[in-house]
Amino acid sequence: MAGTQNGAREAVIVGVAELPLQDGMLLKPMSPLQAQARVAHAALKDCGIAMSEVDGLLTAGMWGLPGAGMLPTVTLGEYLGIVPRFMDGTNIGGSAFEAHVGHAASAIEAGKCEVALITYGSVQKSDRSRNLAGRPAGLTMQFEAPWGLPTPVGGYAIAAMRHMHEFGTTSEQLAEIAVATRAWASLNPAAMFRDPISIADVLASPMISDPLHLLDSCLVTDGAGALVMTTAEHARSLRVRPVYVRGHGESQTHWTVATMPDAARLIPAEVSGRDAMAMAGIGLDAIDVVQIYDSFTITVLLTLEALGFCRRGEGGAFVSGQRTAPGGPFPMNTSGGGLSYCHPGMLGIFLLIEAVRQLRGECGARQVAGAKVALVHGTGGTLSSGATCILSNH
Amino acid sequence: MYDKPLPIVDPDTAPYWQAAKEHRLLVKRCLDCGKAHFYPRELCPYCHCDAVEWLQAKGTGTIYSFTVARRPAGPAFKPDTPYVVAIIDLDEGARMMTNIVGCPPDSVRIGQRVEVAYEDVNADISLPKFRPA
């Protein structure tokens, strides 16, 4: 269990790093392993821990399939030249890294490892490997792939259509999220798109999969990120400001879209959020800044409702009037998120990195003043999985 | 030459696709809790009982939700754009993904009644699509 009662073995995040991008691409061509090695090196340097001290290794990705990527922690550990005693290759989509933080925290607190390294790396934009095609039509996907659902946007579009039907949610309300997120991106020099946009711009952008427009959708970029975790006791010997993992939770429901229990309701986030908040022992009113996976605008709306920031069906009203924008009462996705900063296939690790930086007070123009507690929620697959972390700087 | 994804039939699903070839729509029903489910499984996903049977559905249902794909799911679907991908609540209670055909994409609505219309895509596979009832 996390929390102050755990004493010296309490898990903390001490190092973060991401590789810089130009026009959504790494500054020079790299393989996914090369990118992860470089970003791991940077995250370890961030906290002053040597690679040789890493004894926990966690990663998820879609690289090297079939082949080296089939056993990703084994391939990555081999490449880095380390022999971990705790490994976790949990892949539940873009939320995997929020789950990894929970798993690493549990492992550190149980004494299964001292220093955990979590990495992600993708060169999907550089190698032009991304399109809207579905997955091979085997096993469960034989009941989805033949129908030509644009993947992943189509599944999110089906959820948005149902939410609009049940609750009267509008395209303008979804656009509020894209506009507010772009406003945060305008404050982040690393963001791919920084020019302000309006609700009218979102509605005028090309329709991709009704009712989701291009500007309701995340970017397609490269990206590499890494986190380093250790014990609070170890952190005291480092020149860092540790970020405590106060609570974590995870869940999943479906991967085939037709099997989603309720297309207008995000059950994985309900479960993971409830568990994370109970573990942290705080209420939602104690959260100063939130990072919510924004693969699409509807993802954010459903997550806000599922986590309990507003009631079911009231997400549209909650985000209206630019409430989540800089200066608004609900600072959200302060890096510019997947909609405007970067989205290298899996965004989850970048949400965590931004939350850590906010809690360290390193965010410059986009810093949320006095941020002490952050909620990070990842969503993976097609609204399939969810994992929540509650982080604090005290 | 049909170049869109075709189901990779396996022992679990062979009876379903054999029936589809004969233009019969099968779902599975649990003999214990009585609920129908789709896609067909070895155990009931609701009560986890192993007594499940094939049930021939009437082939009628209601649109639960849908999207109009303005961009294709890969090059093979490009000639079809815009096209409708929908989730249907069959009258037996199971829910499945399909395409809505035989009407303008912009006329499709949640709650609309639909009926099955098979597309024989090759000698072995017929896809159950739906059209307005």
* pLDDT band with cut points at 50, 70 and 90 for residue A3: very low
Domain count, chain A: 2
Q: Where are the domains of chain B?
A: 14-132
Nearest beta carbon to residue B67 from set A161, A165, A259: A161
Q: Do the Cβ atoms of A146 and B127 come within 8 Å? A: yes
Looking at the structure, tell me whether residues A192 and A326 fall in a common domain: yes
Report the pLDDT averaged over residues A133-159: 95
Give the CATH number of the domain where residue A58 resides: 3.40.47.10
Q: Residue B85 pLDDT more than 60?
A: yes
Is A181 a domain residue?
Answer: yes
Task: Give yes or no: residues A207 and A104 share one domain.
Answer: no
A273 and A228, same structural domain? no
Q: In percent, how much of chain B has pLDDT > 70?
A: 100
Chain A residue with CA closest to B74: the answer is A133
CA dist B3 to A146, B6, B66, B75, B77, Å? 10, 8, 23, 9, 9
d(CA A147, nearest CA chain B) in Å: 6
Q: Are residues A88 and A209 in the same domain?
A: no
Residue entry with tokens 């507010």: A180
The whole-number pLDDT of residue A135 equals: 86
Of A140, A148, A207, the CB nearest to B72: A148
Mean predicted lDDT score pLDDT of chain A: 96
**The predicted structure's pLDDT at residue A188:** 98
Same domain? A155 vs A227 = no
User: Does residue A163 sit within a domain?
Assistant: yes
Residue A344, pLDDT score: 95
Chain A residues at the B interface, defined by Cβ less than 8 Å, are: 131-134, 136-140, 142-151, 153-154, 157-159, 161-162, 165, 206-212, 256-259, 263
Residues A6-25: pLDDT tens digits? 566 999 999 999 999 999 99
Can you name the residues that pair with B95 across neighbouring β-strands? Answer: B89
Residue B130 touches chain A, beta carbons under 8 Å:
no
**pLDDT of B15 over the 60 cut:** yes
Contact of B19 with chain A, judged by CB distance below 8 Å, is answered with: no
Burial tier of A288 (Cβ tally within 10 Å: 0-12, 13-18, 19+): middle
Quote the pLDDT of residue A218: 96
B85 to chain A nearest CA, in Å? Answer: 6
- Do A107 and A175 fall within a single domain? no
Cα(B27)–Cα(B97) distance, integer angstroms: 13
What pLDDT was estimated at residue A2?
44
User: What are the chain A neighbours of B95 within 8 Å (beta carbons)?
Assistant: 258-259
Question: What range defines the domain where residue A345 resides?
Answer: 142-217+248-392
Residue A64 belongs to some domain of the structure: yes
Residues A235, A105 within the same domain: yes
Spatial CA neighbour of A222 closest among A18, A45, A17: A18
* Mean pLDDT (whole number) for A30-56: 98
Residues 6+ apart with CB under 8 A from A150: A132, A157, A208, A209, B67, B69, B71, B72, B73
A241 and A252 belong to one structural domain? no
Percent of chain B surpassing pLDDT 90? 99
Comparing A207 with A132, which gets the higher pLDDT?
Answer: A207
B13: nearest CB among A142, A153, A257: A142
Average pLDDT for A114-119: 98
Give the percent of chain A with pLDDT over 90.
Answer: 95
Q: What is the mean pLDDT of residues A295-306?
A: 98
Indicate the helix (H) or strand (E) that contains B127. Answer: strand B126-132
DSSP H/E element including A228? strand A223-231
pLDDT per position as a tens digit, A173-197:
999 999 999 999 999 999 999 999 9
Where are the alpha helices (H) located in A137-293, listed in sequence order? 153-167, 171-185, 199-204, 232-236, 267-280
In a domain, A133, yes or no: no
pLDDT in tens, B51-70: 999 999 999 999 999 999 99
Confidence of residue A131 (pLDDT cuts 50, 70, 90): confident
Provide the shortest C-alpha distance from residue B106 to chain A (in Å): 10
Same domain, A309 and A366: yes
A212 and A282 share one domain: yes
Residue A370 is assigned to a structural domain of this protein: yes
Q: Are residues A176 and A90 in the same domain?
A: no
pLDDT tens per residue across span A308-336: 999 999 999 999 999 999 999 999 999 99
Smallest CA-to-CA distance from B97 within B49, B130, B75, B125 is with: B130
Q: pLDDT by residue (tens digit) across A342-370?
A: 999 999 999 999 999 999 999 999 999 99
